[in-house]
Amino acid sequence: MPSVQGSSVAGRQRGLPAVIPTPQPLGAALLGRLRRDAFAFASLLFILALIALCIFGPEAYKELAPRELQQYHTYNFQDFKNINTGPGSVYQDATGTVYHWLGADALGRDTLARLLLGLRVSFLVAAFVQVINIGLGAGLGLLAGTFGGWIDMVVSRIADMLFAFPGLLLAILVSAIFGPGAQAAAGDVGRLLLVSAALALVSWPLMARYVRSQTLTLKERDFVLAARSMGVGEGGLMFYHLLPNVAGLIITAATLDIASVILNEAVLSLLGLGVQSPTSSLGLMITLAIPYLRNNAFQVFVPAATLTLLVLAFSFLGDGLRDALDPNSR
Amino acid sequence: MLPIITKRLTSLVFVLFSLTFITFMVGHLAPGDPIQFMLGGRYDPARYQQLRHSYGLDQPLFLQYWSYVTGLLHGDLGKSFQFAGRPVVEILAPGIAVSLQLGVAALIVSTLVGVPAGVAAALNHNRLSDRAIMFVMLALFSIPSFVLIPILRALNFMLYDRGLPSLPVAQWGTPEQAVLPVFVLAAASAGYVARLTRSSMLEVLSQDYIRTAYSKGLPARIVNVRHALRNALLPVVTVLGPSTAFLVTGAFVVETIFSIPGVGYISVQSIGQRDYPVIQATTLLLGFAVVLTNLVTDLLYSVLDPRIRVA
């Protein structure tokens, strides 16, 4: 895939003059090209803003309420005066006034607080899954592609076995069977880790397959032959020559995978397999609000719109990265 | 043809082995002792041993796997924990018929919507109508079903409020009850089919024989239908496999939200009751369905397109 980029990176690393001059390091060049793609760059900014929001948002939102009423801006406090309300509903008592910016759900819990926590859950799951996906999927794919032989055999067979399960089935099976145990052992964190592991089980075989086939193609290239002739061993070849050249593919595949992971996490929540109430997640918010659609459609559309935008942003960013890394694909 | 069938059947055996093996191992590793769970407060060592024996849990692991697989071959999917001793087949059987109706209906609808949309878009390549059709199809493809469902239901409520006919949003059986779930389930694969049909049609339209057909003086309608569409539809057949996979995951969501008593719904109910054998059986059943569809698709494709057989 990264044809032009490939030779220049390999050239620079060995201190040789680059075949095609690349004045900037790969990251800066990538950002430069990404900036020209309006959709992708906007998505990147949007995602960064949401990440900042999910890190600082819940506490900041709490601070925005009067000191005595801060609990009204938390995800699990029930305000019985505001059951199923729309945006801007008010709670008032002797100590002060507090606004539910996006209203409250059927149990009187503040929607914005729950949305911010739900975003946090989505990003955490996405991050965990990508750690496993890149560590296990890309790592094994690279090993299989570089060394071949029995490693390739074992990795490919295991990936094939997991491919036998269509879509989310395996994740549903695993989180259904181990979910209650994980919840009992480590609470919400246990659930979160289990959901991530279950989703990673679906993601990594594809990543391994991508990286393996890309590595196999790269191994036929001249720069690998050149490195070999300079006495670079297989391990060095893998880390210093092949890895930098598949890095772009790994980043692109991981970004696109995040879109489906966020969606799949919501599906698991919907089936009652994700994090459990009172903790919030985007999928859970939709499920809990659907029965009240008629009275308060707003409570469904806030998480649904957030989820859709999040998924679209990661898809656009992934597509943008793919184009930025490979100008020929356009 | 024969070598292809042999090759496909060999890989089928491997895939089926993977499905059963992983499902079995996940069930085996499940935390907690199902028999103890079943007995609850009425624990009695003799009864415990008897039940353990009756569920075959006192045998070595590989023997358990063997009897699991031979059981499957005899149509025995194990016994439910929730309804002690009741075979899983008995619990799932009514759901299979329902899910099959839902799935087949969605498959037909997605083809009937997707193929004409794709053809129309390709024939109007790069015009406004092409853009519009592809935008709608992309939206159908990428809007998650549980976002689409509230939108449709809200629209439905609006119809109801204006005194117009509205659709039922739960249960299964009458044609009206099928409209919304089938639409939601078909949406994603309709978008997928449309995109594939469009690109396949565009490729065929740029071929030399299309120009030849025009230069013979054939009218555009005949060229488009007889020469282009016929050939363009070939790759669309392959969509059957991925579509079925979409439908399977979609079925869990759609059946749960619309309370349709299909396999997905039964499975989600069993998740709540920790009825592992039912969950395992659902996974296997749906996995088999997809694997078999993939096999049929591949064979169908090599029958329809003889060039594939050489490769």
In SS3 terms, chain B reads as: CHHHHHHHHHHHHHHHHHHHHHHHHHHHHCCCCHHHHHHCCCCCHHHHHHHHHHCCCCCCHHHHHHHHHHHHHCCCCCECCCCCCCEHHHHHHHHHHHHHHHHHHHHHHHHHHHHHHHHHHHHCCCCHHHHHHHHHHHHHHHCCHHHHHHHHHHHHHHHHHCCCCCCCCCCCCCHHHHHHHHHHHHHHHHHHHHHHHHHHHHHHHCCHHHHHHHHCCCCHHHHHHHHHHHHHHHHHHCCHHHHHHHHHHHHHHHHHHCCCCCHHHHHHHHHHHCCHHHHHHHHHHHHHHHHHHHHHHHHHHHHHCHHHHHC
CB half-sphere exposure, B292, CA atoms < 13 A: 6
Interface size between A and B, measured as CB pairs under 8 A: 118
pLDDT tens across B235-246, in order?
777 777 777 777
Residues A221 and A246 sit within 8 Å (Cβ to Cβ): no
Show Cβ contacts of residue B141 under 8 Å, excluding neighbours closer than 6 positions: B187, B188, B190, B191, B192, B195
Using a CB–CB cutoff of 8 Å, tell me whether A309 touches chain B.
Answer: no
What is the model's pLDDT at position B309? 59
State the nearest Cα–Cα gap between A155 and chain B, in angstroms. Answer: 14
Distance of CA A191 to the CA centre of its chain: 17
**Taking CB atoms and an 8 Å limit, are B150 and A293 in contact across chains?**
yes
Which of A129, A77, A118, A80 minimizes the C-alpha distance to A287?
A118
Q: Using CA atoms, how far apart are residues B301 and B5, in angstroms rounded to an integer?
A: 12
Q: Which residues in chain A touch residue B247, judged by CB atoms under 8 angstroms apart?
A: none
pLDDT at B97 over 70: yes
Q: Which of B142-156, B164-178, B182-196, B203-217 has the lowest mean pLDDT?
A: B164-178
Name the token pair of B239: 């969509």
Interface test with A, best of B252, B257, B258 (most A CBs within 10 A): B252
Q: Using CA atoms, how far apart are residues B278 and A124, in angstroms rounded to an integer?
A: 31
**Taking CB atoms and an 8 Å limit, are A293 and B18 in contact across chains?**
no
What is the model's pLDDT at position A1? 39
Q: What is the dihedral of CA B150, B151, B155, B156, to 10 degrees?
A: -30
A residues 157..186 contacting B (CB < 8 A): 160-162, 164-170, 172-174, 176-178, 180-181
Which of A278, A277, A262 minimizes the C-alpha distance to A313?
A262
Length of chain B: 311
Residue range B11-33: average pLDDT?
80
What is the model's pLDDT at position A48? 92
Distance of CA A187 to the CA centre of its chain: 22
Q: Using CA atoms, how far apart are residues B240 and B106, in angstroms rounded to an integer?
A: 12
Q: Using CA atoms, how far apart are residues A292 and A173, in angstroms rounded to an integer?
A: 30
pLDDT at B81 over 80: no
What is the model's pLDDT at position A162? 82
Q: Using CA atoms, how far apart are residues B74 and A178, in angstroms rounded to an integer?
A: 28
**Taking CB atoms and an 8 Å limit, are B271 and A174 in contact across chains?**
no
Using a CB–CB cutoff of 8 Å, tell me whether A39 touches chain B.
Answer: no
Residue type at A105 in one-letter notation: D
**Which among A181, A266, A311 has CB closest to B31?**
A181
Q: Using CA atoms, how far apart are residues B294 and B11, in angstroms rounded to an integer?
A: 12
Using a CB–CB cutoff of 8 Å, tell me whether A308 touches chain B.
Answer: yes
Name the token pair of B168: 């039922």
Residue type at A236 in one-letter notation: G
Q: Using CA atoms, how far apart are residues B34 and B120, in angstroms rounded to an integer?
A: 56
**Which among B16, B26, B144 has CB closest to A177?**
B26
What is the model's pLDDT at position A239? 83
Residue A104: beta bridge partners?
A85, A110
ipTM score over 0.85, yes or no: no
Q: Using CA atoms, how far apart are residues B213 and B303, in angstroms rounded to an integer?
A: 25
DSSP states of A290-323: GGGTTT-THHHHHHHHHHHHHHHHHHHHHHHHHH
Show Cβ contacts of residue A67 under 8 Å, excluding neighbours closer than 6 positions: none
Percentage of chain B modeled with pLDDT above 90: 0
Q: Which helix (H) or strand (E) holds A98?
A: strand A96-100
**For chain B, what is the radius of gyration of the CA atoms?**
24
Using a CB–CB cutoff of 8 Å, tell me whether A313 touches chain B.
Answer: no
What is the model's pLDDT at position A237? 80
**Taking CB atoms and an 8 Å limit, are B280 and A172 in contact across chains?**
no
The total of other beta-carbon atoms located within 10 Å of residue B68's CB is 20
Residues B247 and B262 sit within 8 Å (Cβ to Cβ): no
Name the token pair of A241: 């020559």
**Taking CB atoms and an 8 Å limit, are A167 and B31 in contact across chains?**
no
**Taking CB atoms and an 8 Å limit, are B21 and A161 in contact across chains?**
yes
Show Cβ contacts of residue A245 under 8 Å, excluding neighbours closer than 6 positions: A2, A5, A6, A9, A10, A214, A218
Q: Using CA atoms, how far apart are residues B296 and B290, in angstroms rounded to an integer?
A: 10
Residues A9 and A246 sit within 8 Å (Cβ to Cβ): no
| Backbone angles phi and psi of A97, in degrees to 5 | -125, 140
Which of A244, A240, A255 minimizes the C-alpha distance to A214?
A244
State the nearest Cα–Cα gap between B293 and chain A, in angstroms. Answer: 11
What is the model's pLDDT at position A328? 56
Across chain B, mean pLDDT equals: 81
Mean pLDDT by 10 residues, chain A (330 residues): 41 47 60 77 89 87 76 78 76 77 80 88 91 91 86 85 79 84 80 89 88 85 84 81 83 87 88 81 85 81 88 86 67
